Chains A and B, each alone.
Chain A
Amino acid sequence: MGESIVITSGKGGVGKTTTTANVGTALALMGKKVCLVDTDIGLRNLDVVMGLENRIIYDIVDVIQERCKLKQALIKDKRFEALSLLPAAQTSDKSDLTPEGMVKIVQELKQDFDYIIIDCPAGIEQGYKNAVAGADKAIVVTTPEKSSVRDADRIIGLLEQEDIESPRLIVNRIRNHMVEQGDMLDVDEIVNILSIDLLGIVADDDEVIKASNHGEPIAFQPNTKASLAYRNISRRILGESVPLLSLQEDKGMFAKVKKFFGIRS
């Protein structure tokens, strides 16, 4: 029996879809069977980020309205077997998906997969309710911006009313130089306000956007900082305890020596 995790944020554009793609990919790389579910009906993106857009034949609304079997709608990833995608519908309306329908689909997916990662649309209306309905756990994504943290707080409040384990937090798109200058909220401050467990932090990196545009989630790349961050997040989902990545850029030999002697730079 698998586990379903919804990835949500309230605010749009903080990286829910990118996080879904990368966390799913990283989990699959660790040998888990993973299914990604896109619930953003009418504005589907997950298939694009995964580079699977051209393989879509049926979508989630087709499954709900029984135009096809669930297995027919699932798209196997082109790179490896362990990863599948259930795409959202592009032409339907949000009301075509219902919380009951989602619960049924997720239950069915749990039979075959270890992890079901649900990509939630922005907002707190019907789309959000659909996405959350089938989830056992939740991950809240936020960026170090006040507006984004405010919306994350709202979402956490709403998640508390659901039958879901206490959500965990990913702080995305951290720009370290801005944090150091005090122009951006730092991670401690965000965790302090939201008072939920921190699952991971991801630095802002052009490579992430580049990779998404190529339909290759960054988690496939072996040694960028962002991919390492996503892999660490996945390891924490699996229950390992992994220390947070340092956001500092490498400063060369001198800085390392100073650090070795415990001198603060």
Chain B
Amino acid sequence: MSNKKQIVTIKGTKDGLTLHVDDTCSFDEVLKELDHKLLRNYVDDDQPMITVSIQLGNRYLNEEQLEQLREVVRGHNKLVIHSIESDVITKEDAMEWMKDSEITSMFKVVRSGQVIDVRGDVLLVGDVNPGGKIAATGNIYVMGHLRGIAHAGINGDTNAIIAASYMKPSQLRIANYISRSPDYDTEGVYMECGYIDLNQEKIIIDRLQLLNQKRPDLSGLERRMLNG
């Protein structure tokens, strides 16, 4: 094997090790080389754990291969895989991502007892009445009165937001966070949105205009890719 072109290049950063894997050779070669390289880099037992991120370049690995790769790295002491990143995805995954970031438009009044459940974002032109519920894996936009329950990011996306022309919800839920309306009678608010403030660990209701500061990457497909 010539050493002109390295199959695996190891770089140390302050966050741990980054392994750059050449994307033109065969997968078997990668595994062999990786095993070999890691073996040489012997670490002491009293050193802390080292996090490893692997850059695959333009190589696509299926689940089985990923598991093999993890297996090799785990086989060595003191190494923890932080991430495995690849620049390519399958069409299938891309379609899934697209579905997660598509906006579904609806034109109706969600009445008591009715539930709307949408994958991706939802734009509702109409009201959500008390006792009605609207849920989405992404964001929820209501052009109308939100008086019932809205649940954004039902699969755990804490970046999801809920926006409404008129906010007087009985409950707002984002990912695993829940906030409810106060026990005293209140007037609703116009043109506001709800999002999670991770510092305060709760759902905040604020003016719509602040959204582009709080969630600058709200539009676009990439946010799904970044968030997974």
Contacts and interface: CB of A to CB of B under 8 A. Distances in A.
Interface string B125-143: 0010111100000000000
B181 interface: no
B127 A157 contact: no
A157 B131 CA distance: 11
Contacts, number: 31
B127 A150 contact: no
Interface string A188-202: 000011110000000
Contacts of A151: 112
Contacts of B145: 192-193
Nearest to B114: A157
Interface residues on B, range: 10 to 19
A184 B132 CA distance: 22
Nearest to B111: A157
Binding site of B, secondary structure by majority: helix, strand, loop or mixed? loop
Given A157-B114, A193-B147, A150 B109 contact: no
Contacts of A137: none
Contacts of A156: 111
Nearest to A124: B113
Nearest to A146: B130
Contact of A195 (B114, B127, B130, B132): B127
Contacts of A235: none
Interface of B: 109, 111-114, 127, 129-132, 145, 147
Interface of A: 150-151, 153-154, 156-158, 160, 192-195
Would you list the 5 A-B pairs with minimal beta carbon distance, nearest first? A157-B111, A153-B112, A154-B112, A154-B113, A153-B111
